[in-house]
Amino acid sequence: QVQLVESGGGLVQPGGSLRLSCAASGFTLDRYAIGWFRQAPGQEREGVSSITVSYLTYYKDSVKGRFTISRDNAKNTVYLQMNSLKPEDTAVYYCAAATHSYGGSWYLPSLYDYWGQGTQVTVSS
């Protein structure tokens, strides 16, 4: 059974940090590009970051310099290190796996085949 499980979300003050993890079971992540998405209430799901099988990384403009995506194939896990968090980063964060190359359209949810259940990130004082 193919499954992605996110963890690491929580409540953090503005300026704080969190590290999200996306662990896979039932398949090996090293053959897939992995994306992180987020969805705030009343808003569409948006791409935050993605990493290809060759470790090429992409970021949404508003998180560049603050978020870092990485993958540890030995642990079958992808991480999203989030620093200098802002209230506007508050959302449910999802990881997803793409079975096919997405070219430059890494931010499109429709290009991803497997999704996790999401983890809540709340940035508030």
Q: Which residue carries 């200098």 as its tokens?
A: 84
pLDDT of residue 2: 85
pLDDT of residue 100: 85
Backbone angles phi, psi at 88, to 5 degrees: -70, -5
pLDDT of residue 104: 85
**Which letter does DSSP use for residue 88 in this model?**
G
Beta strands in 13-118 (DSSP E): 18-25, 33-39, 46-51, 57-59, 67-72, 77-82, 91-98, 114-115
Q: How many residues are given for the chain?
A: 125
In this structure, are residues 10 and 18 in contact, taking their beta carbons and an 8 Å threshold? yes
pLDDT of residue 35: 97
Spans in the chain with pLDDT lower than 50: none
